[in-house]
Amino acid sequence: MTYPVTVSSLSSTTTEKSLSEFFSFCGKISSIQHESGAGTATITFEKQQAAKTALMLNGGTLDGNTIHVTSDTVTDEHDTTGRASLDEGSTSYEQHDKPRAGIVAELLAKGYVLSEHVLHKAIEVDQKQGISTRFLNYMRSLDKTLGEKISGPEGTVSGKAKEVVDQGYAQAKSIDEQHGISKQTQDYYSRAVQSPFGQKVMAFYTQAAKQVADVHEEAKRIAELEKEKAAHAAETAPPSTAPTTAAPGASY
């Protein structure tokens, strides 16, 4: 079974690629039906949760236009019983498992414009539905595994972060550089949890209660770590004589 949503009020410059890039933040896409220059498109998702997240983005901005996202078969009513009972033993996750506030933070970090209403809606969904157990298990496993590498047995990054924060930002940065954390891993969460802001990152992704300002702050962290990742990739890449074109920068 698949889950379609209709996107209208699209810009004449919007392409299938830009639709895919935007809505892939919601989850895996099965298909996109869109004609060049048309004002509407149908995005079909593999998971209902992904389609619900897409509906939450109603009122967002794509290619300069405020878009409308609707569906005849999927509602934006999220399960208020929470997702904590699902996949209790899993430590892997998919995009649609992420907290909604985390997904909108990723979109903001990429330079997309979302209304305050969308941000409030994302926070509201997380508070009503809770964070998926699959994602919580992943974050807690990451916290413990990486924490043991830094602090030894029984150590956690979040616990270490608190000690480091008390001792000052400089020491936190020194620990990060000493272990080469930010440069060695390709996974955002691995880098972010072990950064000087690791405690805040853990709280953002494992606690439902947050404010719009927290979403903007996380978007800035994502954008900054992505810049560092790109800079490191450029430093280690083999020399090339081909001309390069800089990608559009994030608004953060």
Question: What are the residue ranges spanned by the domains of the chain?
Answer: 1-77, 86-235
Identity of the amino acid at 101: A
Contact 48, 109 (CB under 8 A): no
Tokens of 26: 């919601």
pLDDT of residue 82: 45
Confidence of residue 12 (pLDDT cuts 50, 70, 90): very high
pLDDT at 156 over 70: no
Contact 116, 212 (CB under 8 A): yes
Reported as a single tens digit per residue, the pLDDT across 60-77 is 999 999 999 999 998 876
- Of the two residues 53 and 164, the one the predictor is more confident about is 53
State the Cα–Cα distance between residues 208 and 53, nearest whole angstrom: 16
pLDDT of residue 250: 53
CATH class name, domain 1-77:
alpha beta
pTM: 0.78
